[in-house]
Amino acid sequence: MRSISTNLIVLAICCTASAASISDSLKTIRAVGPEGKGNAAAAQAWQSLAQAKPAALPQILAAMDGANPLAANWLRAAVDTIASRAKDLPQMELMKFIADQKHDPRARRLAYELIKNANPQLAAKLIPGLLNDPSVELRRDAVQRVIDQGADLKKINKADLAQKQYRIALDAARDIDQIKTITAALRALGQEVDLPHHFGFLMHWKVVGPFDNTDRSGFAKIFPPENKIDFTTTHDGKAGKVKWSPFVTANEYGMVDINKAYPGPGDGLKEVTAYAYTEYNAAAARAVELRLGCKNAWKIWHNGKLIFGRDEYHRGIRIDQYKLNVQLAKGRNTLLVKLCQNEQQQDWTKEWQFQLRVCDPTGTAILAADRPPTPKTGTNNNQPANPTRKPRK
């Protein structure tokens, strides 16, 4: 009897020590920071953590909550390592972990993949309930299921039911490829799809320009709109006085094409800078992502504060190319975009444009409280602006 008691005590001490060790390792790993800070300590902690038993997986996954992206990767590697040698995974605990939407979305997806590898049938049962999940990766599978249902209904000529499924899928879809697939299917069924509304693209702007960007100097130069927004004042532009004017885009991907505001000769103005300004009325103060697509050099200010900028030209554009975290104030928020066009003359360098939307981390549009209806027509000035473009060589 004494022997059993002793063993139990030893076991309890071991378990406590193990739990403490895992907890310490997690704390050390979560402390990694920029420029390799904490790497050496994290490496030691990781060696210990990676020896943990599979029962520790939910605890390690939970440590990803609020972890910085580097720490999350350290933890992910430990999860992969432990899972790869595990004969049995704590499936029920992992299911509970997935069910708790407060956990980190990527950690939940990782838990799902662990289950999927071990027990595909169990994982498949989860999918229907993930249609509006905070994890975009989890919801993707659920959306695809509904898209497939719509396609099946369409094949058997049940157009009304197919439309209904496609609408459900569209409401939930956040990945651009799925949104395009659903939109095409709905339009083939004669349905209207308001993509700017779905994405939350900002369509109504005021623009001013062109200012100078000779030798790409305009990116760093401070032009008057960066100091003060005053729609009543004229400014010294690149080739004369310039003033603010309204600009509306009707592009369904929210493209604000500055060449349509200032259509220079040929393929458009070169070595120029313009500003676009809009206001966003937030129903409540909250954290959001500004998501920008742009192939010109750009800067963006929120409520007068510079958020980010990038001086890269014509390397490509895509929706959500840049994700910028900002804290919206309740009510009026201002957004100012600076957009620089460079000297390049190739066909693929004529674009002078951007697309901007406001959304949450899943990509769900956060619409302004006073968002106007999606415009049917947009600005397209036909008269050339001041001819500052250099002739083609």
Partner 1 sequence: MKHFIALTLALTLQATAADWQQFRGPQGNGVTSERNLPITLGEKNLKWTVPLPGRGLSGALVIGEKIIVTCSSGITQNRLHILALNAKDGSLIWHRQFWATGRTMCHGKTSVAAPTPCSDGKNIFAVFSSNDVICLDLDGNLQWLRGLTTDYANVSNSLGMSSSPLLIGRAVIVQVENDSESYTLALNKRTGVNLWKLNRPKAANWTSPVRLTNTLIGLQSKNGIDAIRAADGTKAWSYDGGASTIPSSTLRGGVLYIPSHGITALEINKADAENTPKELWQSRRLSPGTGSPVVLGDKVFATNNAGVITAGNLKTGERLWQTRLKGPFSATHVATTTHLYCVNEAGLLQIVDTRGKEGEITGTLNLDDQILGSPAVGGGAIYVRSNGKLFKVSK
Footprint on residues 270-299 left by partner 1 (CB under 8 A): 295
Does position 242 interact with partner 1 (CB under 8 A)? The reply is no
Distance separating alpha carbons of residues 176 and 201, to the nearest angstrom:
14
Choosing from 78, 89, 186, 261, the residue that interacts with partner 1 (CB under 8 A) is: 78
Angle of helix 105-118 versus helix 91-99 axis, rounded to 10: 150
Choosing from 31, 76, 161, 235, the residue that interacts with partner 1 (CB under 8 A) is: 76
Q: Decide: 353 and 247 in contact? Cβ < 8 Å.
A: no
Does position 81 interact with partner 1 (CB under 8 A)? The reply is yes
Give residue for tokens 């049938």: 121
Does position 167 interact with partner 1 (CB under 8 A)? The reply is no
Does position 364 interact with partner 1 (CB under 8 A)? The reply is no
Minimum Å distance from CB 190 to partner 1? 28
Whichever of 77 and 189 has its CB closer to partner 1, that residue is 77
Minimum Å distance from CB 151 to partner 1? 19
Give residue for tokens 């959306």: 143
The residue range among 43-51, 121-129, 152-160, 180-188 that interacts with partner 1, by the rule CB under 8 A, is 43-51
Minimum Å distance from CB 60 to partner 1? 13
Footprint on residues 1-40 left by partner 1 (CB under 8 A): 34-37, 39-40
The residue range among 44-52, 143-151, 272-280, 370-378 that interacts with partner 1, by the rule CB under 8 A, is 44-52
The residue range among 155-163, 240-248, 310-318, 329-337 that interacts with partner 1, by the rule CB under 8 A, is 310-318
Edge-first strand listing for the sheet containing 353-359: 256-257, 353-359, 286-294, 322-328
Q: Say how many Å lie between the first and final Cα of the chain, rounded.
A: 96
Whichever of 130 and 229 has its CB closer to partner 1, that residue is 130
Minimum Å distance from CB 46 to partner 1? 6
The residue range among 62-70, 190-198, 280-288, 343-351 that interacts with partner 1, by the rule CB under 8 A, is 62-70
Distance separating alpha carbons of residues 36 and 81, to the nearest angstrom:
22
Minimum Å distance from CB 38 to partner 1? 10
Using alpha carbons only, what angle is made at residue 10 by residues 5 and 15, rounded to the nearest 5 degrees? Answer: 125
Does position 77 interact with partner 1 (CB under 8 A)? The reply is yes
Residues of this chain that bind partner 1 (CB under 8 A): 34-37, 39-40, 42-43, 46-47, 50, 68-70, 72-74, 76-78, 80-81, 84, 106, 137, 140, 175-177, 295, 308, 310-313, 315-318, 321-322
